[in-house]
Amino acid sequence: MFDPSADTAVRALRRWGAAIASSSALVGLAMLATPMARAAGADAPIDPLPTMGPLRSASDFQAVDLTDSALPQTETASAAPWREDDNACVADGLALPASQCRHPDAHTPRTEWHALTVHRGDTLSALFHRLDLPAASLAHVMQLGGHTKALRRLHPGDRLRLRTTSDHRLDTLRYSLGPIRTLVVQRDDDSLSAHIEKAPVDHRLALASGRIHHSLYRAATRAGLASRQIAQLARIFRWHINFSRELRPGDRFRVVYRQPFVGDHPLQPGRIVAVRLQVDGKTHRAFWFQPDDGHGGAYYDARGRNLAQGILRAPLHYKYISSGFSYHRLNPVTHVVEPHYGVDYAARIGTPVHAAANGRVHCAHRVRGYGRLVVINSFGHYQTYYAHLHRYAKGLHEGEWVHQGQLIGYVGESGETTGPHLHFGIRKDRRWVNPRTASIPSGPPVPHNRLAAFHQHIQPLLADLRTEPGQLRLAGREPNGTYTDGATTE
């Protein structure tokens, strides 16, 4: 049955829907027309729109917080589209008072940090491309020069941390140059700058000890010493102990050394500061001390006597002594009994030969019988001879000043020889002396006015040599990050 009241209600609903649709369409046309009229510079007002009520002003809207703290902090955070009027602005289609407007150039939001790992074939350009950074940012970084040159030589496994701005510009770059130094490239307004950050270094004293069964190297390695520390230990006593011939099973050692840390991360072990070595029932001790208020330094015994001697008795690692110093020796080449003013150290061809003392090179050329010969003048009274060399060290020349331990040549068999060896001789005041037994000048002892400071310095080290291995104590801090282990300098 037809219901007149129902039909009337349906018609009313249709008229009401049409009115709403018409109003929405007109409002949309107005929003399109307004910017077009402004762009064209039209002064004539736009035709008024039939509205269902007055439009709300910007002041009627609830204020919205658009600061960084209100934005979601993600790696893709970006500034909102903006448009500015005389007294208001629109952000994301929302009208705001002028007091709430913020130009993006006034404070550019930053994204989260990006951690990037360098893969094979990667360059800084490829890493910038991953983050959609423009080529201009890359060029700006490389133009800084100086420390940023390290960025030209990235290696697989290197890690960089970058932060970009919302408009895809570089804000900060951090690149580790090692356990202590970090390259930092940072934005300041429209410019970039680079500097090096250095982490503070704590130094602790560590103890290692052991018993020798087969060799010092194997025993020291088991005790936790690094190869460079073992070599340093051998250098400390090189004037007093022949490590290749005098060590016996059962000999013991205790070593106190500096162990640097950055936070809880240990760095490469540093200098040996105290050592006790028992060889064939005899105890040898050495302590590192710097008499000149932190400058220079040497190893001394407990009485302050310098362990270093002015001339090494054997300037190479040798297998055995094939012929000793003698005034009456049968020459194996000429078969004539004659003096042998030196010691022949048998070694492989190419074994490095080092300067036995500081001095100036007097001779570096071939001499009959000696073959390739080097002669060094030292201390005004001494000359050291190195004969039968295979070749000279690169760049060695007569008149050059050399330091004790500096490479000067290699073992050979030039001249009159029956096999590869180094003939080593010493002349004192133009007289030949036996390198194995001659009195050799020692380094200067601790100055008398520094003896009290020296004894005060070694007291805790003597106690450390009696403690259990593994115990550490704080030795000092270098707040500026300066770190020199000194393990290879004496």
Q: Which residue has the higher pLDDT, 53 or 172?
A: 172
In sequence order, the 6+-apart residues with CB closer than 8 A to the CB of 90 are 82, 83, 96
For 325, which DSSP code?
-
Domain ranges of the chain: 114-198, 206-308+446-478, 320-433
Residue type at 60 in one-letter notation: D
Q: Could you report the per-residue pLDDT of 322-351, keeping only the tens digit for each?
A: 999 998 888 888 788 889 999 999 999 999
Determine the CATH number of domain 206-308+446-478. Answer: 3.10.450.350
Q: Could you report the per-residue pLDDT of 60-106, keeping only the tens digit for each?
A: 333 333 333 333 333 333 333 333 333 333 333 333 344 443 343 44
Q: Could you report the per-residue pLDDT of 229-268, keeping only the tens digit for each?
A: 999 998 899 888 878 778 889 999 999 999 888 888 888 8
Query: Is 320-433 the same fold as 114-198?
Result: no
For 468, which DSSP code?
P
Q: What is the DSSP string of 400-458?
A: -EE-TT-EEEEEB--SS-SSSEEEEEEEETTEEE-TTTS--PBPP---GGGHHHHHHHH
Please say if the pLDDT value at position 291 is more than 70: yes
Per DSSP, what are the bridge partners of residue 321?
345
Cα distance between residue 201 and residue 188, in whole Å:
29
359-367 vs 401-402, strand pairing mode: antiparallel
In sequence order, the 6+-apart residues with CB closer than 8 A to the CB of 72 are none
Cα distance between residue 395 and residue 400, in whole Å:
9
- Could you tell me the fold of the domain covering 320-433? Glucose Permease (Domain IIA) (2.70.70)
Determine the CATH number of domain 114-198. Answer: 3.10.450.350
Q: Could you report the per-residue pLDDT of 269-288, keeping only the tens digit for each?
A: 889 999 999 998 899 999 99
Averaged confidence pLDDT in the chain: 77
Q: Could you report the per-residue pLDDT of 428-443, keeping only the tens digit for each?
A: 999 999 999 998 888 8
- Looking at residue 75, what is its pLDDT? 32
The whole-number average pLDDT for the span 374-392 is 94
Q: Classify 176 as helix, strand or coil.
A: strand
